[in-house]
Chain A
Amino acid sequence: MLYDRYGRLAFTLALRVLGDAGAAEDVVQEAFLAVWRRAASYRPERGSLRTWVCSIVHHRAIDRLRGRSGRARLDLSLDKAPPEVALSDTWETVAADLEREHIRRALAELPDEQRRTIELAYYAGYSQSEISSLMKVPLGTVKGRTRMALRRLRSTLERQGVEWSVT
């Protein structure tokens, strides 16, 4: 079942965002139930199962962190993803360690303030306005750093030859 393939990754992500094993377990369980209920909306040609599962786990972990639950979220992760940028599932099963090193190195290459912005947002679940207060910079700066960070991350990974397409 899906859990056997992605449970560890899902738990790792939820634990990192929430910092509490019990809360992470709750979120993973709810996320996999949501995956099951929403199975009809999964389109393999639009992205890997890994991507889908992780985005649901991430959304739910952040919702829990911010004390909101059951709110309908903007879910772009699947429907808007064209097949040419979808990542294959081969990655997580065959080359997990290699990827980890690639992605860590690409993160490390980011300017400090960009990496910190991404980490506060994605791994720690802070919103843009919260990051603005935390880092004592204007909201516009936070937005700009987030965008630059993602763009650089992508171009670094592409340069390192990380596979971006299914075929």
Chain B
Amino acid sequence: MTCDDCDLLLAAHAVGALDLDDERRLVVHLQGCAGCQASAAAYLHTADLLPLALEPVTPPPALRSRLLARVHAEVAGEERSRPRRAPLRERLWRTLPAGRGLTAMGAVAAMAAVVLAVWSFAIPHRQASPPGVLVSRACGLTPLPSACGELSYTPATHQSVLTVQGLPPLPVANSAPLGGYAVWLIHRNGSPVLGAYLEPAPDGRTWAAVLEGDASSYVAVATTHEPRIGSAVPTGPELLRISRPLTPPS
């Protein structure tokens, strides 16, 4: 197949109209052709605008509840079907600080927050048996003194979990939440690198994010509200800063 043949197929692929045998040929060519890979992206990004031309239709509210129920059932199912290996929920749960008078409801909310955090962040695949969890806590800076958070780090898995309470709901624009709460990893020289976005628990009070990677690469995490998802630098005021945990929890 020539690059021109490939280009024709890429356009068809972008609008989802590729016939099956063409799809196979396309894959073979693309694997060895950087030029066509770039064209593929350009066609896809044009086609990706097409849903925005449609008159929006609001889905029934029950769809949201059904979806949440499925997510929770699936996480619970994972636990049942793989009893020998600590499932995602439990692994994350163990990284959360335990026994600080969380009520049953609070525990559920915190767990749900972690489960939902997985929507945006990497699912850990490593075998996890954390020997120790390091925790640090802090409350909000001047713009938002009500916000308090905990950062726990499990050295064995190189995974941190940030949970924050007391954040207001995201502002709304065009009946959708505007932007998100970004978590920045603050490096030794003070430069921030985007780590994750916080996701809310269904109760709206607890927010959580999972941060992958060795925590010794940063000295603190900070949270800002970013009106624009994907911004590479913080634009909003810093709402909360927590130093990297260095000592085991008391």
**Bound: A11/B110 CA distance, A:** 29
> Cβ of B74: which chain A residues have Cβ within 8 Å of it?
33
> Cβ of A153: which chain B residues have Cβ within 8 Å of it?
46, 49
**Bound: A39/B122 CA distance, A:** 6
- Contact digits for B12-50, partner A, Cβ 8 Å, 1 yes 0 no: 111111110011001100100000011011111111111
The chain B residue with its CB closest to the CB of A13 is B51
Contact for A129 among B19, B46, B57, B229, CB less than 8 A: B19
Q: Could you say which of B17, B38, B40, B50 has the most chain A C-beta atoms within 10 Å of its C-beta?
A: B17
- Indicate if the CB atoms of A127 and B232 lie closer than 8 Å: no
Least Cβ–Cβ distance between A143 and chain B, in angstroms? 4
- Indicate if the CB atoms of B58 and A122 lie closer than 8 Å: no
> Cβ of A29: which chain B residues have Cβ within 8 Å of it?
63, 66-67, 70
Q: Could you say which of B40, B67, B71 has the most chain A C-beta atoms within 10 Å of its C-beta?
A: B67
**Bound: A80/B43 CA distance, A:** 11
Least Cβ–Cβ distance between B16 and chain A, in angstroms? 5
The chain B residue with its CB closest to the CB of A89 is B229
Residue B7 at the chain A interface, CB threshold 8 Å: yes
Q: Could you say which of A127, A150, A157 has the most chain B C-beta atoms within 10 Å of its C-beta?
A: A150
**Bound: A85/B46 CA distance, A:** 9
- Indicate if the CB atoms of A107 and B53 lie closer than 8 Å: yes
> Cβ of A154: which chain B residues have Cβ within 8 Å of it?
42, 46
The prevalent SS among residues of A at the interface is: helix
**Bound: A142/B116 CA distance, A:** 43
- Indicate if the CB atoms of A87 and B45 lie closer than 8 Å: yes
Contact for B19 among A80, A86, A97, A128, CB less than 8 A: A128
Question: Which residues from 63 to 117 on chain A have a C-beta closer than 8 Å to any C-beta of chain B?
Answer: 74, 76-77, 80-82, 85-94, 96-97, 99-100, 103-104, 107
- Contact digits for A42-81, partner B, Cβ 8 Å, 1 yes 0 no: 1011011111001100110010000000000010110011
**Bound: A131/B12 CA distance, A:** 11
The chain A residue with its CB closest to the CB of B171 is A93
Question: Which residues from 115 to 137 on chain B have a C-beta closer than 8 Å to any C-beta of chain A?
Answer: 116, 118-123, 125
Of the four ranges (under 10, 10 to 19, 20 to 34, 35 or more), the interface on chain A belongs to 35 or more
> Cβ of A39: which chain B residues have Cβ within 8 Å of it?
118-123
- Indicate if the CB atoms of A1 and B11 lie closer than 8 Å: no
- Indicate if the CB atoms of B14 and A150 lie closer than 8 Å: yes
- A85-B45, A104-B53, A127-B19 given; A3·B12 CB < 8 A: no
Residue B98 at the chain A interface, CB threshold 8 Å: no
- Indicate if the CB atoms of A157 and B49 lie closer than 8 Å: yes
> Cβ of A125: which chain B residues have Cβ within 8 Å of it?
16
Contact for B11 among A21, A94, A147, CB less than 8 A: A147
**Bound: A25/B194 CA distance, A:** 34
- Indicate if the CB atoms of B59 and A8 lie closer than 8 Å: yes
Residue B228 at the chain A interface, CB threshold 8 Å: yes
- Contact digits for B49-83, partner A, Cβ 8 Å, 1 yes 0 no: 11111111111100110110011001000000000
**Bound: A73/B214 CA distance, A:** 34
Residue B174 at the chain A interface, CB threshold 8 Å: yes
**Bound: A104/B55 CA distance, A:** 10
**Interface, chain B (partner A; CB < 8 A):** 7-9, 11-19, 22-23, 26-27, 30, 37-38, 40-60, 63-64, 66-67, 70-71, 74, 116, 118-123, 125, 173-174, 176-179, 194, 199-200, 227-230, 232
10 contacts between A and B (CB under 8 A): A2-B120, A3-B67, A8-B176, A36-B71, A49-B120, A77-B44, A81-B45, A93-B173, A96-B174, A103-B53
Known interface pairs A28-B59, A92-B52, A150-B43; 10 further A-B residue pairs with C-beta atoms within 8 A, sorted by A's residue number: A12-B54, A25-B66, A33-B74, A77-B48, A85-B41, A103-B53, A107-B53, A123-B54, A143-B12, A146-B15
